Amino acid sequence: MTGWVQKAYSAILLAAGSGSRMAADRNKIFLRLNDQAIFQYSLDLFLSDADCKQVILVGKDEEKVYFTDFLSDKVCFVVGGAERQDSVRHALTRVSETAVMIHDGARPFVTLSELNALKAHDNAILAVPVKDTIKQINQAGQISQTVPRDKLWGAQTPQFFETSLIQKVHHIAQSKAFLGTDDASLVEVFSDVPVTIVPGSYDNIKITTPEDLIFGRAILANRSNG
């Protein structure tokens, strides 16, 4: 299916991270990029999209107070779980729409055009072609083979699904104690429903380390100059 179709959806915005790899004393999504916290960029984007009918912020119970000013009739808060997958599953119980976007709050640079591209499909994720040469290693840490990269893509978020499908595969994964690498991996393992790759942007980085803040400020500067 090609072209944009209007499709109402709920958004799950995962904000229960930590600051360990950032060498920060607080949750990295509260760190500021220019004039606002990292997670606010994605929150503002979803709120600007008329198709987004609900935003579910997922965070730590002890950090709920920090989200109070952002809650409204359209934005609610859900306490996350031990793993990212647990947090998504908790949020899925609150989804009101038949489609859902699942997005990491530490990825502040997704665009409305990318959201619209996802909405042109029933189940799809943003991803970018892998640029580096990929090496597979053995247990001794030695190269066992070079993996052809022409069909390799780096998965990003948001990931967009039919609500009933992603709820079902999360339930199955929980019952089997299966921990996936992302939400699309659960669809791959526990259903025969295809998931489409939608080309994303290399700007859609996940803020993880102090160096990423430098890249993030550069992306914002480039956008403001553009």
**Chain segment 52-90, per-residue pLDDT in tens:** 999 999 999 999 999 999 999 999 999 999 999 999 999
pLDDT at 130 over 70: yes
Which of the four pLDDT bands, split at 50, 70 and 90, describes residue 5? low
Buried b / exposed e over 86-110, threshold 16 CB at 10 Å, is: bbbbbbbeebebebbbbbbbbbbbb
d(CA 120, CA 140): 45
Token pair recorded at residue 11: 């958004």
Q: What is the pLDDT of residue 19?
A: 44
- The residues that bridge with 146 in the sheet, in sequence order, are 135
Which of the four pLDDT bands, split at 50, 70 and 90, describes residue 226? low
Preceding peptide of 194 cis, ω within 30°: no
DSSP 80-117: --SSHHHHHHHHHTT--SSEEEEEETT-TT--HHHHHH
The predicted model scores a pTM of 0.92
Averaged pLDDT for residues 102-106: 96
Q: Which residues, 6 or more positions from 71, have their beta carbon under 8 angstroms from its beta carbon?
A: 57, 77
The dihedrals phi and psi of 30, each to the nearest 5 degrees, come to -90, -10
Averaged pLDDT for residues 106-123: 96
Return the CATH number of 9-126+155-225, one of 3.50.50.60, 3.40.50.970, 3.90.550.10, 3.60.15.10: 3.90.550.10
d(CA 103, CA 153): 18
C-alpha distances (whole Å) from 81 to each of 38, 86, 151, 185, 194 are 21, 5, 33, 19, 28
Q: What is the pLDDT of residue 197?
A: 98
Domain ranges of the chain: 9-126+155-225
**Chain segment 148-183, per-residue pLDDT in tens:** 999 999 999 999 999 999 999 999 999 999 999 999
